[in-house]
Amino acid sequence: MKTGTTGNNKFLKELNETYILELIRSNKQISKADLAQLTGLSPTACGIIVTNLLEKGYISEAGIGISTGGRRPVLYELIPESYYSIGVDIDVDFVRFILMDITGQVVYRDKFLSKANYSAAVYIELVEEKIKQIIHRYKIEEGRLLGVGVSIPGIIDNLTHEVVFAPNLGWERIDLENMMSGTGSFPIYVDNEAICSAICENWIGCCVNQRDFVCINMKSGIGSSIFAGGNLYRGCSGSAGEIGHIMVDPNGPKCGCGNYGCLETLASSRAMVEKAQKQIKQGLIADLTDIDSITVDDIISSAKAGNEATRVILIEASGYLGLAVANLINTINPSKIVLGKELDKFPEDVLEHLKNIAFAKALKYPVSRVEIVTSELGEDTSALGAAIIPLKKLFGYQI
């Protein structure tokens, strides 16, 4: 029993330190007296923990607070340049990088073009090289990088953390965490791209304090992630939120998964691009001519410039997305649905159409409690969320 008790005490000590660190973060500046009051720990215990945190370099004295009777208290705050975190978003078109300091501020962001036919090994080599450059450029000392979060457009196994399947990268059963673990003396955390976006929206975006929300991202595929009761909901093996293959039209086209009328065959970037290419061939879209290089951004720009044919492509896709959103409203009963990646660039009237379909097709009661919004953080949400993973771990949050 003795060993067990000692072990527990040590564990509790670590928990207390984590909790104090989180209180310093969330309060921005705070005194030992307030820490004691908020934690219920004795002032002496708080003092010891604060000294530890000062020694480890996480925090510094921030100045003198307002007196509540006695001596004016010393305030403590996080040192922004003390510890860092890196987020990497590996996707088909780009690989994005975020360097974040311990306070959550973005210090650096960058991206480079990637190609769908890159193997996992090529991605890893490029990503590792870039991480080394960032560490060198920002003079991040050994032990001061809290970790690297990596966002992947695919299913990640809950238990093994393997990439089970990332169809648009052509990856299957890739143990990225293990393959990258030699990159440096910091942990690697691999997670799904929609989950990374949800972590981002919940930490610094439009879902701070939201307990039940869904993030839907559209890129080449369509994915979503669910926060249930204040925590990420991953399902029993990590694939919860995979709405791309929900049937929205039984007479729809055949999908790569073998079924017909999956959401992705009717509403993904790829589906819209293919539809536009056909119409360009038929001479139906005058302002788009370069069939091979067309992207969904071109379709959106064309629709925004007033082209009716491209607008119809977006409207049709948004109608199917509206059906999927209605499903989620009924099944999940979220307080918020956040549309991200390409979706936040959609023209206003197209987004209105999506919302109208969703609200008309779902039950009135959950509709009355939900808000559908677009992300305000653009295409970086997954890279940001990936960078937030090591921070959440440091501050004692469940991932």
Cross-strand partners of 228: 231
Among 331, 352, 356, 376, binds a copy of itself (CB under 8 A): 331
Least distance CB 370 / a copy of itself (angstroms)? 8
Of 18-26, 192-200, 236-244, 290-298, which segment contacts a copy of itself by CB under 8 A?
Answer: 236-244
Among 147, 241, 347, 385, binds a copy of itself (CB under 8 A): 241
Q: What DSSP character marks residue 152? A: E
d(CA 24, CA 35): 8
Among 134, 176, 271, 326, binds a copy of itself (CB under 8 A): 326
Q: What DSSP character marks residue 72? A: P
DSSP string covering 81-92:
TT-EEEEEEE-S
Identify the CA nearest to 152 among candidates 127, 130, 129: 127
117 binding a copy of itself? (CB under 8 A): no
Among 16, 103, 168, 335, binds a copy of itself (CB under 8 A): 335
Of 125-133, 239-247, 273-281, 375-383, which segment contacts a copy of itself by CB under 8 A?
Answer: 239-247
156 and 104 in contact (C-beta within 8 Å)? Answer: no
What is the footprint of a copy of itself within residues 25-54 (CB under 8 A)? 37, 40
Mask of contacts with a copy of itself, 194-233, x by CB under 8 A?
-----------------xx-----------x-x-xx-x-x
Q: What DSSP character marks residue 192? A: E
Least distance CB 132 / a copy of itself (angstroms)? 34
- Could you tell me the maximum CA-CA distance found in the chain, to the nearest angstrom? 81
Among 66, 70, 236, 289, binds a copy of itself (CB under 8 A): 236
Of 66-74, 136-144, 324-332, 384-392, which segment contacts a copy of itself by CB under 8 A?
Answer: 324-332
Of 52-60, 77-85, 257-265, 291-299, which segment contacts a copy of itself by CB under 8 A?
Answer: 257-265
24 binding a copy of itself? (CB under 8 A): no
Least distance CB 321 / a copy of itself (angstroms)? 14
DSSP string covering 239-291:
-TT-GGG-BS-TTS-B-TTS-BSBHHHHHSHHHHHHHHHHHHHTT--TT---G
Least distance CB 198 / a copy of itself (angstroms)? 14
Neighbours of 391 (CB within 10 A): 24
Q: What DSSP character marks residue 120? A: H
Q: What DSSP character marks residue 397? A: -
Least distance CB 237 / a copy of itself (angstroms)? 4
Least distance CB 153 / a copy of itself (angstroms)? 15
Task: Show the tokens assigned to 276.
Answer: 């536009």
Helix (H) or strand (E) holding 22: helix 2-27
What is the footprint of a copy of itself within residues 135-174 (CB under 8 A)? 155, 164-165
61 and 76 in contact (C-beta within 8 Å)? Answer: yes
d(CA 92, CA 169): 6
261 and 279 in contact (C-beta within 8 Å)? Answer: no
Task: Show the tokens assigned to 14.
Answer: 């670590």
| Smaller CB separation from a copy of itself, 40 or 283 | 40
d(CA 144, CA 83): 5
Among 6, 7, 8, 121, binds a copy of itself (CB under 8 A): 8
237 binding a copy of itself? (CB under 8 A): yes
**Residues interacting with a copy of itself, by CB under 8 A?**
1, 5, 8, 37, 40, 155, 164-165, 211-212, 224, 226, 228-229, 231, 233-243, 245-247, 249-250, 257-259, 323, 326-328, 330-335, 360-366, 369-370
